[in-house]
Structure 1
C-alpha cells in the first residue's frame, strides 16, 4: 500500500545474500566516465532554495557497459551554517513511486538545526520524476485498471481483474525499453553510493521514511563503512519478502480504520452526523460505499465509485490530521450537488487514483526485488479471505498481487539485512501505523543488529519525525546533531487526535 496525501508510500524488503565484499569489488570496476563525472549544480527551476544537477549512471551496475546510460536527477541544500557543518544527510523517497528531488527544501524548513549542520541531499529514484522513467500505461488505461468494484467476487469480475493485471504487466514490459529489470532497490542504492562519491564524502548520514527505510537498510548492508548515522522512519519488515509484507497490510489498514478513525468519527457525531458509535459509523460507511458501487458519482471528468471511496479512506488514515478531511469528504459524497468547491476539491484529492508514473515504479520494484507466488488459484483463494474479513485494503489484493504474479521473472540480487558493521541505527514506528505496521517494524528491529527502536504509543501516524511530536523530534535531532543514540529501545507518547471545528 501507499500514500498519496503526503506522498509517502510503503513497501517491504528482500532477503538472501549478496556479500558486501562482492559489492565493493563490483564498485571498483565501474568505468571512469561515471566515477569521474562532474555534477553541474544549478538553481532548481521548481525549488528555488535548492540546487539541482543530473547524474549519469549505468543501466545495470553489474554490467555497466551493457545498455544505455540512465539519468538520475539529484538535489542539495547546502548547510546554512558552514561553521557547524558536519557532513551530508542523504534522503530518499517512499513509495515505491515517490519523488525525492524537492524534499530537502521542506525538510530543512521544518528542521533548521539539521539544515544548518548538514548538506541535505536527495534524488528522484531511477524510474520516476525527472530521472529516467518507466512507462506502463496511459492514464485512461490505468483508470480502467483501477475501475470497477474490487469487492465484486463474481466470476466475470475476477476474470476482468486478472485480465487487467496481466495486461498491465505486459504493457510495462513492452513499453519501458528494457528498463524494468533494473528498477530495483539494489540498483538504486548503487546510484546513491555514486552520488556520495561525487559529493566527495567518505561517509553519509541518512534519513528515510516508509519504503525509504528499505533503501537505507539495503545501502547500510552493502556499504556499511559508508554510513555514519541512519534514521529509518516507519519501517517495513526487513526479514521478509514483498509478498509477506504486503499481505500483512489489510489487517493493519482495517485496524487503523476501525480502532482509530471510526471511534473518532463517532465522537464528533454532533459535527459530522455519521453515527454516534463506531458501529453505526461503520454501517453508514458501508451503505455509502454500496451506493457508490451501484451508481458511481460523476462530475465532469471525475468519477468516484467504490474503489475511489476506499482510496479516500486509505489515503486519509495514514495521518490523523487527515481525519477531519475524510469526515467532511464522506459528507460531501452524500450531498455532492450542493457541496462547496472546497469540499469537492478535498474529496476528489483524497479519492484520486494513483498516477501511472507512480505505479510504474511501484510495480517495478515490488514485483522484481523478491519472488512472488505465481499461482492464480492461490491469489483467488487468498484474496477472497482478505476481501471478506479485511475489506478496506483486502479488496484490492487480487488486482495488485496478480500484477506481480505475471511480472517478468525477478533477476535482482538479494540482500540479507543484518546490520553487520553498522553504528547504532535509529528506528521509529507508531503502534497503529496502517502501512508499515508495527509487527513488521519489530521484526525489522530484531533483524537489524545494533538498532534502537522508538515506539510511539497511542498513535497510528505513518511518518513520525517532523510530525509534531517533540519527544520523537528530540531523540532524532540529538542523534543526528550530537551522535547520541538511546542506550536501549524507548517509547514516546503519541500526539492527541485532532479536534475538528464546526462549519
Structure 2
C-alpha cells in the first residue's frame, strides 16, 4: 500500500537533529505529515501510513517501505500528558489495533495519553515479504517432530532449508532489513512525526525487546516504559529460544495437567497429573499412526503439540478450551458439536507463512546463530526426549536460522544507561517468555523494577490481576514505580462449568 503522507511546512519536534543512535533522518522522511483517517471496520482508531527507508544505515540504497500506524486520541485533552506508544509481540503479530485494547477499561490512561501503535515493518498492513504459499507452509508441520529416524530428520532439515531459501528468493530483498534495530528507528521517526520529544511505552512479549532496544538507542526520548513478559533481549535469540522447551514443559506439567486432574469429574481425563499426561501421550501416539479430521482440520501429532502450546499462554481462555478439545478427540464421532468446534479451532491453525516470514527474519537476523547442524541434531535429540512439547520442534526452528543468510543487523547491548526507572513484569511459569530470561534482563537494565507474578500466564497487564494493573496504571499516570522489586499473587486458575467434549 502506498504511503499516505503529505509534505509538512514545519519540521516535527526532534526530527531535524541527528538521532541518538547516530543515524541522521533524511529530510524526505522527516518532512512527512501523517494523514490520519478512520481505520475502518468499526475501529475506534485513526490510521495513517509513513514512508521509511528500507535500510536506515543506507537510506538511498533501496526502495522505501510503508509502515502503518494508528492512534487513539486522549479523551481528556485538558489533562493530556503525552504519547503512550505500544507494539505487538511475535515477532510477527500485528500492533495496529493494540491502542484500542490498551485503553479498554482504563479511563485514566485513555484520558491522559494519545495511545499509538503500528504494524512493524514486515507485518500486517505495512510492507511485508511473501516467502511461502499456505500449502508449502503447512508441509512444515505436516509430520511428527518427535520422529528421529534418519529419513524424518532429513525431511525436517530439507523443509527448514526450503523456508530459508524461499525467504531469500521470494522476499523482495526485505528479510535482511526486518530486524528489531531497524524497527526502533521507524519508531523514532513516528515519534518525531507526532511532534513530541519523548514517549512513554508499553510492550508485551517480543515488544519488550523493541522497547529495550529503543531505550538503548534513544534513552533521552523515553519518559516511562513498561516491559511485560520479557524475551531474553539481554542475550541472543538462540540463548532465549533454547530455554523455551523447559518453560513450555514446566507450564504443561506443573499447571495444566494438575488443573486437568483436579477437574476429573468434569473432563474424565485422569485423577492425577501423571494419569492425565499418560492419556495425552497415548492420544499423541494414536494421532501419529492415524491422524483424524475434525471439521476442516487434519489433526496429527504436531497439531496436538501446537494446540497444547497455544492453550498454555492464558489459563482462563486456554485451559478449558484445551480440555474440551482433548475430550472431543477421544470421543470421536460422539463428541458434542461445541467440543468439536473447540478442537477444530485449537488444533486447526498455528502461526502462518506471513507470521513466520517476520518471525525468522527477526530471530535469525538480530543476533548470531550457531550454524553447526551437528550441534542442533544433538541438542534437539536431548530436548525432544526430555522436554518434548516444544523440544520436539527445536530442530525445525533452529535449523531455519542455521540456513538463514547472515544479515547486517548490529548487536544492540542493553544497559539502561540514561533511562528513568523502567517497570518490568514477569510470571514464574510463563511458557513463552521464561522467567529466567526476565531475571537476566532485569539485571542488565540498570535501575529497573521487576514485578514478579506468582502464576503462569503470558502477559500480565490486563490479565485480571488487580495488583499488577494497579502498579502499572499508577506508574504510567504518575511516574511512581515500586521502591524495590515486588511480587503480586497469581490470578486463580479457572473453574470449568461443564465439559464440552461429549
Q: TM-score, normalised by structure 1?
A: 0.94
Residue 480 of structure 2: aligned partner: 484
Residue 173 of structure 1: aligned partner: 168
Measured after TM superposition, the shift of residue 23 of structure 1 is: 5.3
2:374 maps to which of 372, 377, 393: 377
**Structure 1 pair 47/359, CA: closer, same or farther in 2 (3 Å)?**
farther
Alignment of structure 1 residues 49-198 onto 2, 5 Å:
49-198=44-193
- Indicate the larger mover: 295-304 or 240-249: 295-304
Alignment of structure 1 residues 190-229 onto 2, 5 Å:
190-229=185-224
1:398 paired with 2:417, answer no
Contact 2:295–2:341 (Cα < 8 Å) also in 1: no
**Structure 1 pair 167/22, CA: closer, same or farther in 2 (3 Å)?**
farther
1:280 maps to which of 255, 268, 275: 275
Measured after TM superposition, the shift of residue 48 of structure 1 is: 2.4
2:327 maps to which of 331, 348, 366: 331
1:368 maps to which of 365, 371, 374: 365
Deviations along 1:201-236, whole A, 9 cap, x unmatched? 100000000000000000000000000000000012
Q: TM-score, normalised by structure 2?
A: 0.94
1:297 maps to which of 292, 296, 301: 292
Measured after TM superposition, the shift of residue 47 of structure 1 is: 4.6
Classify the secondary structure of the residue corresponding to 2:367. coil
Structure 1 runs of 4+ aligned residues shifted over 6 Å read none
Contact 1:42–1:53 (Cα < 8 Å) also in 2: yes
Residue 493 of structure 1: aligned partner: 489
Measured after TM superposition, the shift of residue 354 of structure 1 is: 1.4
Deviations along 1:129-158, whole A, 9 cap, x unmatched? 000001110000000011100000000000
Residue 406 of structure 2: aligned partner: 409
**Structure 1 pair 447/25, CA: closer, same or farther in 2 (3 Å)?**
closer
Classify the secondary structure of the residue corresponding to 2:424. strand
Q: Whole-Å Cα distance in 2 between the matches of residues 450 and 383 of structure 1? A: 37
Q: Whole-Å Cα distance in 2 between the matches of residues 336 and 495 of structure 1? A: 34
Q: Whole-Å Cα distance in 1 between the matches of residues 43 and 384 of structure 2? A: 46
- Indicate the larger mover: 63-72 or 294-303: 294-303
Contact 1:146–1:307 (Cα < 8 Å) also in 2: yes
Measured after TM superposition, the shift of residue 299 of structure 1 is: 4.2
Q: Which runs of 5+ in 2 are unaligned?
A: 1-16
**Structure 1 pair 189/335, CA: closer, same or farther in 2 (3 Å)?**
same
Measured after TM superposition, the shift of residue 116 of structure 1 is: 1.1
Classify the secondary structure of the residue corresponding to 2:50. strand
1:232 paired with 2:227, answer yes
Q: Whole-Å Cα distance in 2 between the matches of residues 100 and 442 of structure 1? A: 26
Residue 4 of structure 1: aligned partner: none
Q: Whole-Å Cα distance in 2 between the matches of residues 22 and 394 of structure 1? A: 45
Residue 3 of structure 2: aligned partner: none
Classify the secondary structure of the residue corresponding to 1:90. strand
Deviations along 1:55-90, whole A, 9 cap, x unmatched? 110000000111000000000000011111100000
Q: Whole-Å Cα distance in 2 between the matches of residues 313 and 426 of structure 1? A: 31
Classify the secondary structure of the residue corresponding to 1:298. strand
Measured after TM superposition, the shift of residue 484 of structure 1 is: 0.5
| Greater relative contact order structure (CA < 8 Å, 6+ sep) | 1
Instruction: Please provide the CA RMSD for this pair.
Output: 1.2
Contact 2:296–2:344 (Cα < 8 Å) also in 1: no
2:461 maps to which of 441, 459, 465: 465
Deviations along 1:81-110, whole A, 9 cap, x unmatched? 111110000000000001000111122113
Q: Whole-Å Cα distance in 2 between the matches of residues 317 and 274 of structure 1? A: 17
Residue 258 of structure 1: aligned partner: 253
Contact 1:26–1:62 (Cα < 8 Å) also in 2: no
